[in-house]
Copies of this chain bind each other. A is one copy, B any other.
Amino acid sequence: MTALVDDLISLLEPRRVLSEPEHLITYGFDGTAALHGDASVVVLPVNSAEIVAIVQYAAQRKIPIVSRGSGTGLSGGSIPVPGGIILCLVKMDRILELDEKNLTVLVEAGAITQKVAEAADGIGLLYPPDPGSMKISTIGGNVAENSGGLRGLKYGITRDYVMGMEVVLANGDLVWLGSKCVKDVAGYSMKDVFVGSEGTLGIMTKILLKLVPKPAAKKTVLATFVRMSDAADTVSAIIAAKIIPCTLEFLDRVTIGCVEDYAKVGLPRDAAAILLMESDGHPAVVEEQVATMERIARECGAVSVVVARDAEHAAQLATARRAAFSALARVSPTTILEDATVPRSELTRMINFIQEVSERHRLKVGIFGHMGDGNLHPTFLTDERNHEEMERVEMAMAEIFTFAVQLGGTITGEHGVGLAKKRFLPAAIGDASLGLMRQLKRALDPDNILNPGKIFD
């Protein structure tokens, strides 16, 4: 290991090669509960050339490389691989070019998502993807995981905004893919192969993102229901009314209780569900959509519907949803946040199933998530030191994923497969589909040095 560290120091500055235990311990984790690995050495490159040098070095010796950003991932994608190099991109965090004429921004992969969004905002533009971790996550991590967020229903996900990228391939080649053109069909769209590839096919160093005009207005509505099915009916009726809100989030009874314990925002503890609905765009459109959503919620049986008076009131209403994960996380030592996702039409069946399974396995679960796009976050409140309970969590999760797939859904809507879900992947997508992915991996990384063991073995 000392030889490896010495070699890496010769490629970078000594202070950007970390090998002391007190440094390494923090790189053994990401945002995923109950997963951990031992990091051997961490490198902090400052430019693409250094990454090329590191990959060439590792490729010659078949040393694994795990690339990562801020480590906020929720599927264990950046957990260390034994004997491997942790390549952390956080020092490559520059916003290189804001192009107002072409509505694009070029950034280094280690740029913080929030900073990218703020840069766009500064010139009246919007970078729509807003994963929950955006204040600390890197854009490279978002692209590697193809992150979602709260605005997915209306604005889509990270992939929809990636126009181009610079990538270091497994052999050390540096390649640019894509362009500033909205339309570009010169050969296979290789950039789309790397989006969502979880660090297993290449290391993204620069990313070209599409921006859109910032909506002129935004309005927030909070509706409370005593029956879960009324909330689901509201969502269906909104879509049937041809309204695509920018946010359509929900919290179940357990989550409402935890939020109220934590943030004391005055939520009714007897409610079965809360829907947070937001419309953005032209003021006239927002007014109309909000009025319609309010009416629909009442018709579907909402016991209360509150429309935010102003931005401050809106932020207050949104607190319940924003605080959901923190509120659940403080209840138990271990919080297992899942992202089973189903077609919108199957939401009620899925929510009922999660509640039934959790009761049967005597588990405490809070459910919240993105109702508009069918992306649920069943969150198990448990303790990883209690092995017997963890086994029951595992069993419940397996049943939930199986049912999600039966309903035409997926085992992961926005967190990725990583280590956390790889045992569920074969049954979820089938042998032929998995075989295709393996062929792709072997073609692009024949020696399996890039994040080996993630997604599949």
Evaluate contact between A195 and B189: CB separation under 8 angstroms.
yes
Q: Are B193 and A193 neighbours in the complex by a CB distance under 8 Å?
A: yes
Which of A26-34, A55-63, A301-309, A429-437 lies at the interface with chain B? A429-437
Chain B residues whose CB sits within 8 angstroms of the CB of A408 once the complex forms: 179-181
| A160 surroundings in chain B (CB, below 8 A) | 156, 160
Considering residues A174, A182, A196, which has the most beta carbons from chain B within 10 angstroms of its beta carbon? A182
Q: How far is the CA of A435 from the CA of B185 in the complex (A)?
A: 17
Q: Which of B101, B125, B240, B442 contacts A100 (CB 8 A)?
A: B240
Complex Cα–Cα for A173 and B435 (A): 10
| Residue in B159, B184, B375, B443 whose beta carbon sits within 8 Å of that of A413 in the complex | B184
A391-433, CB under 8 A of B: which get 1 and which 0? 0000000000000000011111111110001000100111011
A311 at the interface (CB under 8 A from B): no
B157 touching A417 by the CB < 8 A rule? Answer: no
B174 touches A437 (CB 8 A): no
For A370, what are the chain B residues with a Cβ–Cβ distance below 8 Å? 183
Stretch from A17-25, A265-273, A325-333, A337-345 contacting the other chain: A337-345
A352 within 8 A of partner (CB): no
Flag if A425 contacts B183 (CB, 8 Å).
no
A341 to chain B minimum Cβ distance, whole angstroms, is: 5
Q: A174-B432, A187-B417, A213-B244 are in contact. Are A345 and B102 (CB under 8 A)?
A: yes
Selected from B157, B175, B242, B428, the residue in CB contact (under 8 A) with A433 is B175
Number of interface residues of A (CB under 8 A): 91
Chain B residues lying within 8 Å of A375, measured Cβ to Cβ, are 181-183
Rounded to whole angstroms, the CA-CA distance of A325 and B396 in the bound complex is 60
A205 to chain B, nearest CB (A): 13
> Least Cβ distance of A358 to chain B in Å?
22
A437 adjacent to B242 (CB under 8 Å): no
A343 touches B179 (CB 8 A): yes
Distance of A343 Cα from B183 Cα, bound (Å): 9
* Minimum Cβ distance to chain B for residue A429 (Å): 6
- Contact between chains at A188 and B430 (CB < 8 Å): no
- Tell me, rounded to whole Å, the shortest Cβ–Cβ distance linking A342 to chain B: 7
**Min CB gap A454→B, angstroms:** 10
Q: How far is the CA of A455 from the CA of B439 in the complex (A)?
A: 21
B residues less than 8 Å from A444 (CB atoms): 436, 439-440
User: Closest Cβ of chain B: how far from A351's Cβ, in Å?
Assistant: 15
16 A–B contacts from the bound complex (CB under 8 Å): A101-B236, A146-B185, A179-B408, A181-B413, A182-B375, A183-B370, A185-B414, A185-B416, A186-B425, A188-B196, A189-B195, A189-B196, A190-B437, A282-B282, A285-B285, A443-B443
What 4 pairs between A and B have smallest CB-CB spacing?
A443-B443, A213-B242, A183-B413, A284-B284
A residues whose Cβ falls under 8 Å from a Cβ of B: 99-103, 124-125, 145-146, 148, 152-153, 156-157, 159-160, 169, 173-177, 179-190, 192-193, 195-197, 201, 212-214, 236, 239-240, 242-244, 281-282, 284-285, 288, 341-345, 370, 373-375, 408-417, 421, 425, 428-430, 432-437, 439-440, 442-444, 455-456
